[in-house]
């Protein structure tokens, strides 16, 4: 029910909200569609695994070119489950940024049952709703905050009983160590198709993923959670139709992306690396790497960050 209410609210809001035209990637962590395209072009140019896609023409967003509706990289390997990774931190220099940010309180600690409804990425900055400076006055800020509090998570989905049973026999990333197993040294590798869209409501990129087992069969929602860090697994992941194709996909909800990107951009500049709009998505992907630490898409070191 919460999922349906929030989806309906967001859809209605996007119909009346104007498209952002004023740059705010440094001051608010948000992007205009033009800045999203510029950053996407830079990502595609420097990281050949990423490309632009058009999707279903009937679902095209008018504020983006028809041939550049979203970014995609396909068949990205995942050889381990998140629980097998000792450190969920970002790679390389991003590890330092994440540690510093945790001290400032914008990365949530592992959730308990009592704080399940807490915000997924507490921010020391203003809430992302403040970034929508050009939003229609028909939507009050307090109403938007209330909606963000009601964002559904994957744990609220009604799954079939056999899905829970299937968890005991999920494909394992490491060699099967069961005694007497017929294929002791076969590594079962999951793969993911990863997509990045522009979210008009939150004015930030939104990250989507569709997973497959070693037989190229779609992963169930609970299986995808095994590849998400504990801090985010049941707090920021939702399942929605992918906006440009209608295929069901898991998504990292973008309600806190603006404050996170503002914080990361400030930290990058403090370390002597200018936060430029064309490199926005490169930094964004390094943040996302902390959420899905075993999905090996992060080929962005060559992009100059």
Instruction: Quickly list DSSP for 189-231.
Output: -EEEEEEEEEETTTTEEEEEEEEE-TTSPBPPHHHHHTTS-TT
Report how far residue 116's alpha carbon sits from residue 218's, in angstroms, rounded to the nearest whole number.
27
> Could you tell me if 81 and 226 are in contact, meaning their C-beta atoms sit under 8 angstroms apart?
yes
Give the side-chain half-sphere CA count within 13 A for 6: 19
Structure tokens, 244: 């440009």
Enumerate residues 6+ apart whose C-beta is below 8 A from 247.
210, 241
In eight-state DSSP terms, residue 262 is H
Q: Residue holding tokens 């994440």?
A: 98
Phi-psi region at 105: left, alpha or beta (left = phi > 0; alpha = psi -120 to 50): left
- 255 among known catalytic residues: yes
In eight-state DSSP terms, residue 7 is H
Catalytic residue among 43, 154, 255, 289: 255
Report how far residue 39's alpha carbon sits from residue 33's, in angstroms, rounded to the nearest whole number.
10
> Could you tell me if 32 and 22 are in contact, meaning their C-beta atoms sit under 8 angstroms apart?
yes
Report how far residue 251's alpha carbon sits from residue 133's, in angstroms, rounded to the nearest whole number.
25
**Would you give the end-to-end CA distance of the chain in angstroms?**
42
Report how far residue 183's alpha carbon sits from residue 88's, in angstroms, rounded to the nearest whole number.
29
Catalytic machinery residues: 255
């Amino acid at each position: 029910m919460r999922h349906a209410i929030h989806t309906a609210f967001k859809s209605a809001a996007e119909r009346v909200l104007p498209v952002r035209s004023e740059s705010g990637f440094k001051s608010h962590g948000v992007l205009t569609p033009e800045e999203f395209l510029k950053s996407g072009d830079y990502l595609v140019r420097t990281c050949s695994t990423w490309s632009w896609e058009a999707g279903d023409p009937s679902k095209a967003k008018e504020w983006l070119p028809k041939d550049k509706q979203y970014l995609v990289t396909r068949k990205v390997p995942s050889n381990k489950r998140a629980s097998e990774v000792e450190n969920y931190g970002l790679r390389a220099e991003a590890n330092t940024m994440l540690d510093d940010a945790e001290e400032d309180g914008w990365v949530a600690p592992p959730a308990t049952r009592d704080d399940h409804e807490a915000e997924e990425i507490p921010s020391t900055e203003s809430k992302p709703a403040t970034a929508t400076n050009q939003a229609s006055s028909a939507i009050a800020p307090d109403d938007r905050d209330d909606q963000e509090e009601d964002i559904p998570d994957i744990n609220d989905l009604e799954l079939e009983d056999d899905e829970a049973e299937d968890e005991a026999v999920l494909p394992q990333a490491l060699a099967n160590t069961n005694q007497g197993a017929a294929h002791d040294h076969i590594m079962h590798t999951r793969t993911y198709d990863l997509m990045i869209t522009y979210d008009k409501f939150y004015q930030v990129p939104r990250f989507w993923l569709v997973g497959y087992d070693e037989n190229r069969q779609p992963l169930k929602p609970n299986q995808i959670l095994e590849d998400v860090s504990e801090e985010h697994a049941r707090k920021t992941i939702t399942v929605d139709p992918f906006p440009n194709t209608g295929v069901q996909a898991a998504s990292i909800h973008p309600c806190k992306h603006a404050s996170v990107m503002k914080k990361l951009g400030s930290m990058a500049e403090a370390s002597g690396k200018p936060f430029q709009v064309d490199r926005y998505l490169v930094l964004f992907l390094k943040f996302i790497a902390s959420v899905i630490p075993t999905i090996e898409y992060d080929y962005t070191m060559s992009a100059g960050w």
